[in-house]
A and B are shown apart, each in its own frame.
Chain A
């Protein structure tokens, strides 16, 4: 089955601590992978994307993600979070079978002071 799975529905973390949001994709999903952020009552904004090349991808707002083909993972990381990073984060992968993006269920990152 084609799927993108975000392993945590909620991640609470204290300000200035590091964070990792986990994402796994099924092998039938192509290696076009994306992370989006959504702030309350807004649309989704692209954080970063992996299309090919270096497996470590750097995005906006200090986020980065690592593509791991052997583990079929694309985890999102930030070394030190801010209160303003509190938002919903979505992982997505391109399905070569359906020709569409498949989105994970989302992870709510809650940064506490």
Chain B
């Protein structure tokens, strides 16, 4: 089955530690995205990539980093510089930027 996988579903980390969230897609999509979602708020774009080896900052990139070394993979690192990292993180992909985005199941990160 084609789709997007995110792992793990739940992640706990101590304050000050970097953590990497995984996102893999087998849809052969060029574009991939990372969103952050907080309770009662909409989706906020962290980073996006429209092609391998290239990515752009979204609206809230501070404290986050990404890489896009392979078409199917777009990992997100939450660094210790992120002031309030506890949130629900969603990965998505699309054929092109303005087309339908397909979402993964999300990773809930809790920093203790």
- Main secondary structure on chain A at its contact with chain B? strand
Query: What CA separation (Å) do A108 and B104 show in the bound complex?
Result: 20
Residues of A within 8 A of B92 (CB): 43-44
Scoring A41, A101, A105 by chain B CB atoms within 10 A of each residue's CB, the highest score goes to A101
- Whether the Cβ atoms of A42 and B97 lie closer than 8 Å is no
Number of interface residues of A (CB under 8 A): 24
Query: What CA separation (Å) do A103 and B33 show in the bound complex?
Result: 13
Encoded as 1 (CB less than 8 Å from any B CB) or 0, chain A from 82 to 113 comes to 00000000101011101111011110000000
Query: What CA separation (Å) do A44 and B102 show in the bound complex?
Result: 8
- Main secondary structure on chain B at its contact with chain A? strand
Q: Is B27 interfacial (CB 8 A cutoff)?
A: no
Q: Is B1 interfacial (CB 8 A cutoff)?
A: no
Number of interface residues of B (CB under 8 A): 25
Query: Which residue of chain B has the shortest Cβ distance to A103 in the bound complex?
Result: B43
Given known contacts A90-B42, A103-B43, A41 and B97 CB-to-CB distance under 8 angstroms: no
- Whether the Cβ atoms of A34 and B100 lie closer than 8 Å is yes
> Which one, A41, A49, A96, A100, contacts B88 given CB within 8 A?
A41
Q: Is A80 interfacial (CB 8 A cutoff)?
A: no
Q: Is B110 interfacial (CB 8 A cutoff)?
A: no
Chain B positions near chain A (C-beta within 8 angstroms): 4, 6, 33, 41-43, 45, 48, 50, 88, 90, 92, 94, 96-106, 108
